[in-house]
Amino acid sequence: MSDLWQGVLEKIDDYRWRIPKNYKAGMRVPGIIYADEKLLKDIRHDKAAEQVANVAFLPGIVRASLAMPDIHWGYGFPIGGVAATDADNGGVVSPGGVGYDINCGVRLLKTNFQFEEIKDKIKDLTYVLFSDIPAGLGSTGAIKVSAKEEKEILIQGAGWAVKRGYGTTDDLECTEERGAIAGADPSAVSDRAYDRGKAQSGTLGSGNHFLEVQMIDQLYDRDACDAFGLSEGQITLMIHSGSRGLGYQICDDYVKNMVHCLSKYQINVPDRQLACAPLDSEEGKSYLRAMKCAANYAWANRQCLMHLARLAFERFFKRSWQDMGMSLIYDVAHNIAKIEKYNIDGKEKTLCVHRKGATRAFGPGNPALPERYKKTGQPVIIPGDMGRNSYLLVGTKKAEEETFGSTCHGAGRLKSRAEATRTINFTELLKELEAKGITVKGSGRGTIVEEAPQAYKDVNDVVKVVHDAGISKRVCRMRPLGVIKG
């Protein structure tokens, strides 16, 4: 039992557990973890819950340090962590609360195809997508940009790609922040970060990034499915990628620079990985300007990836993407800090909401949503592992009241990449996936083994918790058919 986290967890209800504020001297708020009994056993197997308690030390933090059911160990913050700090009451921003892959996120497209129509073509389609979409560590793309254009991408985000003909304005309407968050400042980005990003627009990257051809295999909310134009057996496409080397370098630069802020601003945190700066300080403002650049780069990147995927479908099926109904349902960020307003103890507060491995989940009527989703609530896209399922959910008013409009972002790792590599056999894994009718193409054996289903929690368990807790609502479930891994 010595390897288990031994901290205090008080049961609030079947889906919420509290780390009391007195667990560690210096905690400003309690910690709250969303999980059921089954997932709690996995959560205790690393020190992510301790990180939830550590985040509660941040100056200006309000209400609670939160963790979603896909929580696991991360840098400073746990992956699956959510924390909001009060901009007008000493609140801080922490790069560890956003993560290294700034605006790692996911988008979901629908098509007009039914599984029965194209089931015999899935393997060949997967090979074409793998051929046409650059993937893997350090991969570079066919979309080349000048230094001037790269700065335009950092400000315009997905809008830059649409102006170049890589999509439509409808795509922007169906993207969080319309694909570009205001306030990005390219001068806050280092030359090293520019160098790492300039050749990577329209590339999938490595690790858990993927492009997946899927089939809807279960409907939960038929009214919402009708509103989104979705039906059982329909083919969908999911794209998961982020800000690549540019975002990683921006995080690295600011994490190192911000450590001195702890002494400069007399900030006491139990972990130097929680290095942070006041939101109204020059260091805090500079990080947010650079982070927004990386976020916009990621939205442009996913827009370019979608464009390349549409072209691959056109080449394979000899039809236009419009004729195939390849419209974007939504694109959401998973690693980002956003300035948003919430009612705290009866007063409207301006907060910096850190979502690290967590998805925005605004409910019906939220003014930030496009008109088409005002009635349903914001689409929430939750990818699972390549052997089980992914989900489309919608946000809720309860999420806005409880979790700063946030929910989970995926399945959450059970095994580290090193442990997966050591314990999972590549050949057996491919046989297992093939037996389920899943074709997988990757840039290397290592990536595929690291991303094996056994390395992850079951996303069905994770989504059940957020649904039953009321912080997002299931719409439909997809299963993988063809997977491209970086």
CA distances from 261 to 2, 103, 123, 228, 254 (A): 35, 24, 52, 46, 11
d(CA 327, CA 300): 17
Of 431, 437, 361, 384, nearest in space to 208 by CA: 384
Q: Which residues, in sequence order, are CB contacts of 268 under 8 Å at separation 6+?
A: 26, 57, 262
In this structure, the number of other CB atoms found within 10 A of the CB of residue 128 comes to 16
CA distances from 482 to 24, 124, 214, 267, 436 (A): 47, 9, 7, 48, 11
Query: What is the phi-psi region of residue 349: left when phi exceeds 0, alpha when psi lies from -120 to 50, beta otherwise?
Result: beta
Encoded tokens for 123: 């393997």
Of 300, 115, 135, nearest in space to 213 by CA: 115
In this structure, the number of other CB atoms found within 10 A of the CB of residue 444 comes to 14
Is 45 an annotated catalytic residue?
no
In this structure, the number of other CB atoms found within 10 A of the CB of residue 253 comes to 18
Cα torsion angle, 157, 163, 164, 165, sign: positive
Asked whether 318 and 176 are in contact (CB, 8 A), the reply is no
d(CA 303, CA 310): 11
- Give 196-250 as a 3 state SS string: HHCCCCCCCCCCCCEEEEEEEEEECCHHHHHHHCCCCCEEEEEEEECCHHHHHHH
Asked whether 358 and 81 are in contact (CB, 8 A), the reply is yes
d(CA 101, CA 248): 5
Catalytic residue among 209, 240, 334, 409: 409
Q: Which residues, in sequence order, are CB contacts of 429 under 8 Å at separation 6+?
A: 448, 449, 452
Asked whether 65 and 84 are in contact (CB, 8 A), the reply is no
Active site residues: 409
